[in-house]
């Protein structure tokens, strides 16, 4: 039995993101999120990355708890970080703080390879399983402390660091 589709909810989530982007125009090119990023957000099933009890709120524009004191980032923040990162289709990106794997899943649609590292073993394991089940072959999930990056996979075209509800994005850095 198939679960809810959530297509309408994803569409409404993207409308909200577009509205926030117009309001936050200072950091964005042309007061908008790149249409390619919005297209990916319309396609990636965010409800798959939140615990069962929060699925109805999956597409609301706020963070949601994923366990272990961590959250899945607000959709607008995921969109903004992805847009600012501006990694191209041949890009290799490091994400520090895998969480549930949603940001990695979004990035994987836009770049060649995503390396993501998560400190909490249970989150790393469940994210790896989820991303594999959803068919994301270009994401490598590692469990460990991302403080020093991931030297064996460097250099990166971009790095995204998330910590609970705070998130940071940088471009063109290696992890050395």
Look at residue 171 in the predicted model and tell me its pLDDT: 44
Averaged pLDDT score across all residues of the chain: 89
Catalytic site residue from 58, 73, 100, 169: 73
**Residues facing residue 118 across a β-bridge:** 143
With respect to residue 166, please indicate whether it lies within any of the assigned structural domains. yes
pTM of the model: 0.85
Q: What is the pLDDT of residues 20-46, one digit of tens each?
A: 887 776 555 667 889 999 999 999 999
Predicted confidence band at 19 (pLDDT cuts at 50, 70, 90)? confident
Total domains, the chain: 1
Contact call for residues 118 and 72 (beta carbons, < 8 A): no
Averaged pLDDT for residues 105-109: 98
The CATH number for 131's domain is 3.40.50.150
Q: What's the domain range around 95?
A: 7-171
With respect to residue 1, please indicate whether it lies within any of the assigned structural domains. no
The answer to whether residue 73 is catalytic is yes
With respect to residue 139, please indicate whether it lies within any of the assigned structural domains. yes
With respect to residue 176, please indicate whether it lies within any of the assigned structural domains. no
With respect to residue 2, please indicate whether it lies within any of the assigned structural domains. no
Q: Residue ranges of the alpha helices (H) in the chain?
A: 7-23, 35-43, 75-85, 102-108, 121-133
With respect to residue 97, please indicate whether it lies within any of the assigned structural domains. yes
With respect to residue 121, please indicate whether it lies within any of the assigned structural domains. yes
């Amino acid at each position: 039995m198939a679960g809810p589709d959530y297509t309408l909810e994803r569409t409404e989530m993207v409308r909200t993101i577009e509205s926030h982007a117009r309001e936050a125009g200072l950091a964005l090119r042309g007061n908008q999120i790149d249409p390619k990023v919005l297209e990916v957000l319309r396609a990636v099933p965010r409800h798959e990355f939140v615990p069962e009890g929060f699925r109805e709120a999956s597409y609301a524009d706020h963070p949601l708890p994923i366990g272990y004191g961590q959250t899945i980032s607000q959709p607008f923040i995921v969109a903004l970080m992805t847009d600012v990162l501006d990694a191209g289709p041949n890009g290799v990106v490091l994400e520090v703080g895998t969480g549930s794997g949603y940001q990695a899943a979004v990035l994987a649609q836009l770049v060649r390879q995503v390396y993501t590292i998560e400190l909490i073993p249970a989150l790393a394991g469940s994210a790896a399983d989820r991303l594999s089940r959803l068919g994301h072959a270009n994401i490598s999930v590692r469990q460990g402390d991302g403080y020093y990056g991931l030297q064996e996979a460097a250099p990166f075209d971009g790095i995204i660091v998330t910590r609970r509800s705070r998130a940071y994005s940088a471009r063109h850095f290696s992890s050395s």
